Structure 1
Amino acid sequence: MRLFAAVLPPPEALAQLGAAVDRLAELPGGGALHWTGRPGWHLTLAFLGEVEEDLIPPLGRALAYAAQDSAPFSLALRGGGHFSGRALWAGAAGETAKLHRLARAAGDAAREAGVEPDTGLPFRPHLTLARTRSRREEARAGDPDLGPYLAALAPFTGTPWTVSELTLVRSNPHTSPRYETVDAWPLGR
């Protein structure tokens, strides 16, 4: 199974962001971007890649312990950024140091269970909103300039919510729904 550990924002936070994204999609060139599906919006903590079925139980136990060891905290969706001019994302604000610790704990839990998370890039809290149609790592000629989208997204600040659980999510790249919750664990003891 292709898995990742994540924080799933509540429906109210996603609805606020969705209203902002609707305005973004109407900007010139919005049709040239591939907008992500709202049912799958999440903040990835640790991408685990393909995980063998027999590693799921120990992974679940390790993630449950990591969740138990992390107290709930406040977060809000805010502003945005991009990766290599190719992926547009919404950022996070609030107790982001606690989000970083939870991400580190999720990665450590995965390693403890025998799953090596992808550690190619430093953790940056983000919720992917859109991608250019280019599959290359860097933006290429013909891809839309993300600058106007970033400028329009910059003032966005969602209502804070309490992050209260760690979720293990399965990615199904070629089916619908694309993402499904495998398990979730409450934060705190």
Structure 2
Amino acid sequence: MRLFAAVLPPAPAVEELRRAVVPLRSLPGADTLRWTGTPGWHYTLAFLGEVDEELLPDLYSRLERAAHRTGAFGMRVHGSGRFDGRALWAGAAGALDTLRLLSERAHAAARRAGVPMEEHRRYTPHLTLARSRVPADLTPFTAALEGFEGLHWEAGELSLVRSILPVDGVPGEQPRYEVVRAWGLGR
């Protein structure tokens, strides 16, 4: 099962961002980008990759402990950025130190449960909006969203999400995401 740990923004924050992204789709070069669907918008905390089912019980209990050790915190979608001309994303503002701590705890929980994890590097909170197969000039897109200030919301759950990749060759098909388990923060 292909999994990642994430914080999911609430529906009002997703809708607000969706409205801000609509005009970006008409900018020059937008048709060369693969735009992510709103059902998949999330802040990844730790990417686990393919996880053997026998590891799941220990993973669940360790992620639950990580969630309970971290209190709920305030967030909002804020601004934008890009990774190497290949990914356009919306950023985050608020209690980013707590978000980073939760990322570290999710990463450690997976590693201690036996999931082979890549080296944990400095966490950059982001919600991917579009990707490009080849490096692209994403400057007009980041400029259009740089002043975006989303509504304030409380991150209250750590979610373990299953990623179901699209079948190759199906035009426009998007990955599907389903929450496998979720744990309340600080409970």
| Aligned residue in 2 for 1:165 | 157
Identical residues among aligned pairs (%): 54
Which structure 1 segments of 5+ residues have no match? none
Which range moved further: 15-24 or 110-119?
Answer: 110-119
| Aligned residue in 1 for 2:171 | none
| Aligned residue in 2 for 1:80 | 80
Q: CA RMSD in A?
A: 1.3
Instruction: Work out whether residues 67 and 187 of structure 1, in 8 Å CA contact, stay in contact via their aligned partners in 2.
Output: yes
The SS at the match of 1:183 is strand
Instruction: Work out whether residues 48 and 110 of structure 2, in 8 Å CA contact, stay in contact via their aligned partners in 1.
Output: yes
Q: Structure 2 vs 1, CA of residues 56 and 76 (structure 1 numbering), >3 Å: closer, same or farther?
A: same
Following superposition of structure 1 onto structure 2, how do residues 130-145 of structure 1 map, counting pairs within 5 Å? 130-134=130-134, 139=135, 143=136, 145=137
The SS at the match of 1:74 is strand
| Aligned residue in 2 for 1:179 | 177
| Aligned residue in 1 for 2:62 | 62
Aligned partner of 2:113: which letter?
Answer: A
Q: So what's the TM-score if we normalise by structure 2?
A: 0.93
Aligned partner of 1:100: which letter?
Answer: R
Count of equivalent residues? 181
Following superposition of structure 1 onto structure 2, how do residues 98-117 of structure 1 map, counting pairs within 5 Å? 98-117=98-117
Provide the C-alpha distance between the structure 2 equivalents of 1:89 and 1:151, rounded to a whole number of angstroms. Answer: 12
Instruction: Work out whether residues 76 and 93 of structure 2, in 8 Å CA contact, stay in contact via their aligned partners in 1.
Output: yes
Provide the C-alpha distance between the structure 1 equivalents of 2:166 and 2:69, rounded to a whole number of angstroms. Answer: 35
The SS at the match of 1:91 is strand
2:29 paired with 1:29: yes
Instruction: Work out whether residues 5 and 169 of structure 1, in 8 Å CA contact, stay in contact via their aligned partners in 2.
Output: yes
| Aligned residue in 1 for 2:186 | 188
Runs of 4+ in 1 over 4 A off after TM superposition: none
Instruction: Work out whether residues 46 and 118 of structure 1, in 8 Å CA contact, stay in contact via their aligned partners in 2.
Output: no
Provide the C-alpha distance between the structure 1 equivalents of 2:100 and 2:175, rounded to a whole number of angstroms. Answer: 28
Instruction: Work out whether residues 3 and 171 of structure 1, in 8 Å CA contact, stay in contact via their aligned partners in 2.
Output: yes
The SS at the match of 1:13 is helix
The offset of 1:120, in angstroms, is 6.2
The SS at the match of 2:151 is coil
2:144 paired with 1:152: yes
Provide the C-alpha distance between the structure 1 equivalents of 2:15 and 2:26, rounded to a whole number of angstroms. Answer: 17
The offset of 1:118, in angstroms, is 3.0
The SS at the match of 1:115 is coil
Provide the C-alpha distance between the structure 1 equivalents of 2:152 and 2:103, rounded to a whole number of angstroms. Answer: 19
Which range moved further: 90-99 or 114-123?
Answer: 114-123
Q: So what's the TM-score if we normalise by structure 1?
A: 0.92
